[in-house]
Structure 1
Amino acid sequence: MTQPQTRTLLSHLLESPEGNGASWPRFRVLWRHMAEDAAKELQDQRLANVRTSERTYWRWMAGTHVAKGDAAAILEWYFGKSAEALAQPPVPVREIVRPRALDRRTRTASRALDYTWSTSRHVPGEPSVGVHGTWELAGGRHFDGTAIGVQLYEAEPRGDMAEISEADLPHLRSLVRSSRRGVVLASLGAAGGKGLYVMDAALVRQSLHVGQDPRVPLAYQLDDLTYAIVWALHVMDDGLLADDHPLSDRAGELRHYVMISNSAPPRSDMLDLSPIGAAWLGSSLCAQYIVRHLDELSDVPAFWTREATGEECAPWLFFRHKHDYLQAVADRFAGPASTLGRAFCVPESAVRNTEPYERILLFLTVAMMEMHGIKVWMSNAPEYTQTEGFVLAQNRAILANWVREESVWRVATTSARRDVAPYQEAIEHARSHSVVDGQTPADRLQALAAYLDLDWKWLIGRCSTLGEEGISSMLRPRSRLLTLKALDQTLRFLGAVGRQDAGR
C-alpha cells in the first residue's frame, strides 16, 4: 500500500529526517513501543496489547479516519495532541526556495568581504534550507555597527550592467521582500569577470515589480568608495531607526534649547539614545543654533569643524539637516569673491590610523563644502585637534560642538576678547598652514587626496561614474532623517572637477 498524498499533522510528525515520510514497517515497530510506554505511563496494561492494521494506519495518515478508544489514547499520549487534531492538516510549512550553487570564483570573490575592510564580515546563509546570508558592518570608534541581509547571485555582463540569471528569480523574489532590509550582490565570476556589484534589495524589488530584468549597474562595483557609502549609510540608518521614537519625543525640547543663549546637556540625561541618535540630536541643535545667529553677522564668517575622521564626517554626507544648514550658509555668504571658508584639523596620525574607505568619507565631506562655495583649509597640527566647532565673525565666536563632546552638544556665544582670541588664532593657523592650499577647488581637492594617500585619478573617475549612475539608484535609506540627494550632487560635482582637471 502506498502512502496517500493528503498531508495530516500525524504524517508531518512521523516524517523521516530524509523527508521520505513514515513507512508502515517502521511505524509498526514504533507503535509497539508507543503502546507499551503508554500502558506504563497511563497505568493501563490493556494499552500494551493494542494493535493496528496497515489499512487503518494509512487512513490515519490520510485523515479519512480518526482514531478512537484505546488507539486514540496511545496517539494522544505520545504526540500530546488530540486524535482529531492529528487527523487535520498540519500548520502550514513555509515553502523553501533554495538558491543556486555559486561558482568557485564567486565564492572566492565573496571572501573579500571578510579581509578587505576591518569593519566588514560576511556570514553565509545555509543554501540547503534557503537561508539568506548576513553582512555584519562593525562600528568604528564612535558609532555602533549593524547587520543587514545579503545574498550573492551569478550574473552575466550586459553592456554596462550585470544581469542576474532568470534561474535565480524565484530565490531573488524571496529575498527582496518589502519588510526585509538587505542588499543584493551580483558576481561576474562564472562569466570570467571580477568583483561584486551591490544594490539595495528594495530597489531590486522595484525593478522586478515593473517587469524589468534584475540588473546591477557596473558602476556599483564594491570597492573602497562604494563600501564607504554602504557602511556609513547602514550604520547611521539603523541607529536612527532604533531611536525614532525618543528623537520624535525630543523635538519640542530641541526647539527650546535653540532659543536659549547657551546649553550643554550631559550625555547621562539622554541615555535612551544610541550614539547615532545622540549625534543626530547634537548636530541638529548646533546647526539650528548657528543658522539662528547668521542674520546677526554682517561680515563673512569663518567656520571651524572638529571632525577629523571619515566616521566623524559621515553625518555631513547623509543627515538631511546638515545639507539645509550648508545651503543656508551658502545662500547668505557664498559668492565668487567671498572669503567664506571652513577649517578642519586632521593630523597625520588620523590619516595613518584610518583605512582608505574611511578617508574617502572625509574627502567627500570636504568636496561637499567646496561644492557649496565654502573654501576648505586644513591644519595638520595635533595641538588643534581638541578645538571645538565654532563660527568666527566680527570678533565674536559662536560655539557649537557635538563631536567628541562629553555633553550631547555645547552651544554658546562670546565676544570677550580673551575668549575669542584662541579661536582667531586657530583660524589664522589653518589659513596660513593649510595642507590643502590651492587657488581652485580642483587644486585643493587634489592636494587633499595626496594628503590622505588616495589615488586622485582613480577616485575622481569612480566618483564621476557613480555620480552619473546615481547613489539613489543603488541604495535607499529608511529613516526620514537621511537623504542621498546631496551626496549625489557631490559626486557629480567631483566628476565635473575631474573633467576640468583633465582639460588643463
Structure 2
Amino acid sequence: MDSNQRRRCGSCGIPLSRYNADARCGACQRGLKLAPGFWEDPQVRQALLAWDLGTVCRLVRQHTGLSQIAFARLVSCDQSEVSRLERGQRAIKDRRKLLQWAQILGFPDHLAGPLPAEVTTSSPGHANASYLPVNQMSQGTHQLMLPAGQSITATLLPTLTLPADTFRGNELHLGRSPELTAWTRMPTRALVIGSRLIDGATRYFAVDARHGGQVPPDSTGADSDRLRIPAAYELDDLTYGVLWAVAGFDAALLGDDHVLHRVLPLVAEADLDPVAEALCRRELTAGSLMLVGSQASARYILDRRPFLGEAPVFWTRERSGEEAATWLFFSHKLDYLRRTAPGRPDDGSGRAFCIPEDAVVSSPTHERVLLFLAIALMESFGIRTWITADPSYADTEGFVLMPRQRAVIASWVRAEGVSKLAQTNRTAQLRTFSDAAGHAGAHSVTAADQARERLAATADYLGLDLRWLARRCDQLSGAGTAALAQPRNRLLGLEGLDTACWFVAHQFAEQNR
C-alpha cells in the first residue's frame, strides 16, 4: 500500500500500525508524547525491524524521560521486567505480547518487521521436531518441543511414538522391540508414547523412557515382555504442564550444576554476594535463579519465623503457572510449607495472591493447571489462600506480616537480581502491607469457609473444568507421577505434586465416583 493511503493517527498523524484498529495510535491513546520523527531514528528502525523490545523500551524512555516504573505501567508489566529487557537479560517471545506492545506504543506498520515465527528446532539424528498438540505426531521418533516461558528455556524431549498392542484395565501395553529397548536405556530424559484409537479418536499416553525399562514385579509370562503405560498418563493439559515444568527446571539446574554446587551452600549462610557475582557474569540461567532466589527467601523467612508471632500473613508474588510450579517441584519449598503451616486451623494466618484477570486470560491452560495445583498444595497444609484480582497490588513485594508490629520482606519472583530481603517495623510500610493483605482477605475472588469451596472458586476463576481436573488428579494420585516425570536433578522432587493431586482428589471424591 502506498504511504499516502495508509491509515494515520488522528492526533499525531503517524501511520497507524496494522495491529491497531482504533483511530489514534496507542501512544496518543495513553498520553505518550512521541515526536513523529522518533520512529525514523536509525536505532529505533533497527529495533522495530528485529522486534527488539528491550532497545525500543530504552529509546522510548530516553525520548520521553519516563522512568522504568512509569513505562512498566504503560505496557502493563513489572519494573523488573523492563529492567531485564533493557539489559538484554530477557526477551519477549510471546507473539500475543509482542502485538500488545505494538498497539500500546503505536509501532508504524511500514517499519515493524515480520513477527517472529513460532520456535521450531531440529537436531541431527532425529526425524523431525514436533510441538503439541500431540495428536499431530505420527508414529516413529520425534523431538517434542516444550516452549520457553518467562524464565524456563525451550526444551526438546526425544520421543518414540508406537501403537499400543492392547488397552487392558487402566494400562496400555506395548510389545518390546530392539528399538524400544534401546530407548529405555537412554540416560537423558526421553518419552515413550503409546497411541491408541479409543471411541473413534487417537489418544496418546506417555511414560519416562527409563522407567519403561523396568519390569513391574507383578508381571508374569507374556506381560513381562511388554511395556506398560498407566492410562493416567494420557497427554493433556495436566500431564503436559507437569512435563513442561519438570523438563524445563531439570534442564536449567543440570546445566548450571557446577555453579550451583559452589553458590548454594553460601545461600544457606545468607551470603548472596557470590550469587550476585555469578549473575553479573551470566553464569546462571533464569531457571536456576528461580531456585537460588527462592531458597534465599525461604531461609531468610525461616530464620525470622519465631519473631513473627503465631498467625502471620504471607503475601506471595506468583501469578503464573511457571512461577507457582516452584512450589510443586522445588524440594526446599515443600519443607518450607511444612514449617510455616498454621499451628491450628483458622488461626487468622494465610497466604494472599494477586492474580489480575489479564494474567489469567493470557496464560495457557497447562500453566493455569499448575497454578491451581500449587494453591491446592498450600490448602493441603491448612493454609488458607486468598486471591485478589486488583492489578494495583500486582507490584507489591513478597512479605510476611505480623500486623502492627513487624514484617519480613522476601521477594524473588520478578525481583531485580537474586532476591530482595529485608525486615521492617516502619509504620508506613506496615500500613502498606496491612492494606494489601486486608484487601485480599476482604475481596478475595475465592472467599469461602472451607478449602473445598475455595478450590472450586479458584478453578472457576482460572477458567478450569473442575470435574475434569478432579478426575485427572484422582487418576494421577493412584498411579503416582514418578514414571511420567521423574526429575533428574537432586534439588527437584514430585512429592509436592503428588500431595496436591491427592488433596484435590480427596476434596472432590464424589465427583470421581
Q: TM-score, normalised by structure 2?
A: 0.70
Is the Cα contact below 8 Å between 2:250 and 2:488 reproduced in 1?
yes
- Partner of 1:412, secondary structure, is strand
1:470 and 2:480 correspond: yes
What is the CA–CA distance in structure 1 between the aligned matches of 2:187 and 2:294, rounded to whole Å?
A: 29
User: In the alignment, what sits opposite 2:292?
Assistant: 281
Number of residue pairs the alignment of both structures matches: 382
Q: Which amino acid aligns with 1:371?
A: S
User: In the alignment, what sits opposite 1:236?
Assistant: 249
1:254 pairs with 238, 252, 267, which one? Answer: 267
User: In the alignment, what sits opposite 2:115?
Assistant: none
Q: Which amino acid aligns with 1:392?
A: L
Which consecutive residues of structure 1, in runs of 5 or more, have no partner in the other structure?
A: 1-97, 100-109
Report the RMSD for the aligned CA atoms in angstroms. 2.9
User: In the alignment, what sits opposite 2:238?
Assistant: 225
What is the CA–CA distance in structure 2 between the aligned matches of 1:123 and 1:195, rounded to whole Å?
A: 11
Once the two structures are TM-superposed, the CA of residue 265 in structure 1 deviates from its matched residue by 4.3
Is the Cα contact below 8 Å between 2:143 and 2:157 reproduced in 1?
yes
Once the two structures are TM-superposed, the CA of residue 115 in structure 1 deviates from its matched residue by 5.3
Q: 1:344 to 1:399 in 2, by over 3 A?
A: same
- Partner of 2:307, secondary structure, is coil
> Structure 1, residues 438-491: CA drift from partner, whole Å, max 9, x if none?
111110000011111111111111111111111123221100000001211110
User: In the alignment, what sits opposite 1:315?
Assistant: 326
Identity score, percent? 34
Q: 1:144 to 1:122 in 2, by over 3 A?
A: farther
1:373 pairs with 362, 375, 382, which one? Answer: 382
User: In the alignment, what sits opposite 2:431?
Assistant: 421
User: In the alignment, what sits opposite 1:348?
Assistant: 357
Is the Cα contact below 8 Å between 2:445 and 2:457 reproduced in 1?
yes
User: In the alignment, what sits opposite 1:453?
Assistant: 463
User: In the alignment, what sits opposite 1:388?
Assistant: 397
Once the two structures are TM-superposed, the CA of residue 310 in structure 1 deviates from its matched residue by 0.6
User: In the alignment, what sits opposite 1:37?
Assistant: none
What is the CA–CA distance in structure 2 between the aligned matches of 1:400 and 1:212, rounded to whole Å?
A: 53
1:497 and 2:510 correspond: no
User: In the alignment, what sits opposite 2:180?
Assistant: 172
What is the CA–CA distance in structure 1 between the aligned matches of 2:429 and 2:199, rounded to whole Å?
A: 65
Which is greater in Rg?
1
Once the two structures are TM-superposed, the CA of residue 247 in structure 1 deviates from its matched residue by 0.5
What is the CA–CA distance in structure 1 between the aligned matches of 2:324 and 2:278, rounded to whole Å?
A: 20
Q: 1:473 to 1:114 in 2, by over 3 A?
A: closer
- Partner of 1:439, secondary structure, is coil
Is the Cα contact below 8 Å between 2:467 and 2:511 reproduced in 1?
no
1:334 and 2:343 correspond: yes
Which consecutive residues of structure 2, in runs of 5 or more, have no partner in the other structure?
A: 1-125
Q: 1:208 to 1:445 in 2, by over 3 A?
A: closer
What is the CA–CA distance in structure 1 between the aligned matches of 2:198 and 2:448, rounded to whole Å?
A: 47
User: In the alignment, what sits opposite 2:85?
Assistant: none
1:141 and 2:147 correspond: no
Once the two structures are TM-superposed, the CA of residue 263 in structure 1 deviates from its matched residue by 12
What is the CA–CA distance in structure 2 between the aligned matches of 1:235 and 1:256, rounded to whole Å?
A: 27
User: In the alignment, what sits opposite 1:203?
Assistant: 211
Q: TM-score, normalised by structure 1?
A: 0.71
- Partner of 2:205, secondary structure, is strand
Is the Cα contact below 8 Å between 1:264 and 1:408 reproduced in 2?
yes
Once the two structures are TM-superposed, the CA of residue 193 in structure 1 deviates from its matched residue by 5.6
Q: 1:191 to 1:448 in 2, by over 3 A?
A: closer
What is the CA–CA distance in structure 2 between the aligned matches of 1:470 and 1:264, rounded to whole Å?
A: 35
- Partner of 1:229, secondary structure, is helix
Once the two structures are TM-superposed, the CA of residue 390 in structure 1 deviates from its matched residue by 0.7
